C-alpha cells in the first residue's frame, strides 16, 4: 500500500513514526509493507515512488521546518506526481472554507484513491458531498481520528455497535476547553489556562476554534452525519463556547457540588454545543485534557468511552486503525 501524507505537523509526523514502527506488523498481516511515497506540508513536498524513509522525513522537518526541498503552488499537482493508494490528509482544520484539505480530499477521491483524514473542516462542511464522491468512485473515506483522537467513537458506533440504533451521543470532545475549565475549578484564570493548553500543543492553530466551541461543533456535525445518517453542516449547530464562563459561575457550580463542562450533544433531532452543569463524579464531569462520550444505543444500552482527544501518537493510532481497515478491504 502506497501512502501520500498531506500535512506534516504534529499528527503527520506522528503517523510517519507509527508507519515506521509497524513495518513488521504490516509484513506479518499482509505479507507486504505500507510505504510512504509522498509527503507535503504547507510550504514544501517530497515524493519517491520507491518509498521515503518515514523517520528521515520527521528528521528533515525537525531540522529545516520543511518536509521536502521542493516548493509548490498547487497541492493537487503534487499529488499527481506519484502513484499512491491512500491519501492521509492531516493538514490544519479550516472551518470556514475547508481549506487545502477539502481540495486534496476531493482530488484524491475523484481519482479513485482511498482517503483517511482527521481534518475536521472538510467533514464538517461537505460531509455528504465527500461521501457521495467516495461512493461514486468506489473509494473508502475514513475519519476515526477526527472526533476524540485516540478515543474510539465513530467506528465504535458504526461498526462495533452496528445493527442497534444509536439514540444519542453526549460528550466532552475538546481537550483544550476541558483543560481550561478544570484549571478554573482550581482558581486559575481563563487566559493563563488557555496559554498552558497552547503550550501543551492541544489547542487548534487558532484557539478561537476551541474556546468558542467551533471545534466541538465540527465533531458534533461529523457524528451527526456518520453515526445518525443526518445531512447537516457546521452552520446547523447551536453553539455556545466557554468564553463567557466567569469565575463566579465556576464558584457557584462548586457550591452546589457541580462543575461546568462544555458538552456536545447529538441525536436524531439535537445538534448542540454548550457549557452545562455536571454533578461532580459524573462520567461527563472529568477533569484535564481527556475526551469522553456517552453513547446510548437501543439494544446495547449506555456505553461510556474516554481517551486522549489529541496528541502526536494518540491521533496517529486512530489513523492506523483506519489504515488497517482500508488495507483489510483492499488486500485480504
Instruction: Give contact residues for ligand HSE (rule: CB under 6 A).
Output: 149, 174-176, 202-204, 210, 215, 309-310
- Tell me how far, at minimum, the Cβ of 110 lies from ligand HSE, in Å: 27
Nearer to ligand HSE, 46 or 286 (CB): 286
- Inter-CA distances, 32 with 2, 21, 154, 297, Å: 11, 14, 28, 39
- Tell me how far, at minimum, the Cβ of 260 lies from ligand HSE, in Å: 17
Closest C-alpha to 3, from 106, 108, 76: 108
The tally of CA atoms less than 13 A away on the side-chain side of residue 289 is 19
168's grid cell: 444519542
Is residue 114 a contact partner of residue 326, using CB atoms and an 8 Å limit?
yes
Nearer to ligand HSE, 92 or 164 (CB): 92
Please write down the HEC assignment for all residues of 90-159: CCCCCCCCCHHHHHHHHHHHHCCCEEEECCHHHHHHHHHHHHHHHHHCCCCEECHHHCCCCCCCHHHHHH
- Tell me how far, at minimum, the Cβ of 297 lies from ligand HSE, in Å: 24
Residue of 111, 195, 219, 280 with catalytic role: 219
Nearer to ligand HSE, 99 or 175 (CB): 175
Three-class DSSP category at 13? helix
- Tell me how far, at minimum, the Cβ of 292 lies from ligand HSE, in Å: 12
Nearer to ligand HSE, 56 or 288 (CB): 288
219 as an active site residue: the answer is: yes
Active site residues: 219
Amino acid at each position: 500500500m502506497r501512502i501520500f501524507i498531506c500535512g506534516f505537523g504534529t499528527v503527520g509526523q506522528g503517523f510517519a513514526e507509527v508507519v515506521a514502527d509497524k513495518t513488521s506488523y504490516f509484513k506479518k498481516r499482509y505479507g507486504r509493507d505500507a510505504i510512504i511515497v509522498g509527503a507535503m506540508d504547507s510550504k514544501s513536498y517530497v515524493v519517491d515512488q520507491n518509498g521515503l524513509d518515514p523517520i528521515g522525513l520527521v528528521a528533515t522537518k525537525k531540522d529545516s521546518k520543511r518536509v521536502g526541498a521542493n516548493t509548490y503552488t498547487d497541492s493537487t499537482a503534487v499529488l499527481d506526481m506519484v502513484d499512491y493508494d491512500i491519501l492521509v490528509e492531516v493538514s490544519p482544520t479550516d472551518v470556514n472554507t475547508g481549506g487545502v484539505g477539502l481540495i486534496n480530499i476531493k482530488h484524491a477521491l475523484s481519482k479513485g484513491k482511498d482517503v483517511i483524514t482527521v481534518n475536521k473542516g472538510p467533514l464538517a462542511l461537505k460531509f455528504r458531498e465527500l461521501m457521495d464522491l467516495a461512493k461514486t468512485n468506489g473509494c473508502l473515506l475514513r475519519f476515526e481520528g477526527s472526533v476524540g483522537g485516540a478515543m474510539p467513537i465513530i467506528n465504535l458506533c458504526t461498526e462495533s455497535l452496528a445493527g442497534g440504533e444509536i439514540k444519542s451521543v453526549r460528550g466532552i470532545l475538546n481537550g483544550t476547553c476541558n483543560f481550561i475549565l478544570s484549571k478554573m475549578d482550581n482558581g486559575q484564570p481563563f487566559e493563563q489556562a488557555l496559554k498552558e493548553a497552547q503550550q501543551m500543543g492541544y489547542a487548534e492553530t487558532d484557539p478561537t476554534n476551541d474556546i468558542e466551541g467551533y471545534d466541538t461543533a465540527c465533531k458534533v456535525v461529523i457524528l451527526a452525519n456518520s453515526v445518525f445518517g443526518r445531512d447537516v453542516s457546521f452552520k446547523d449547530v447551536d453553539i455556545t463556547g466557554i468564553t463567557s464562563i466567569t469565575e463566579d459561575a465556576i464558584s457557584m457550580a462548586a457550591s452546589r457540588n457541580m462543575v461546568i463542562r462544555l458538552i456536545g450533544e447529538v441525536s436524531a433531532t439535537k445538534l448542540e454545543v454548550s457549557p452545562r452543569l455536571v454533578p461532580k463524579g459524573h462520567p461527563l464531569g472529568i477533569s484535564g485534557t481527556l475526551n469522553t462520550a456517552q453513547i446510548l444505543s437501543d439494544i446495547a444500552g449506555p456505553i461510556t468511552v474516554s481517551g486522549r482527544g489529541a496528541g502526536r501518537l494518540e491521533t496517529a493510532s486512530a489513523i492506523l486503525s483506519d489504515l488497517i481497515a482500508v488495507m483489510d478491504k483492499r488486500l485480504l
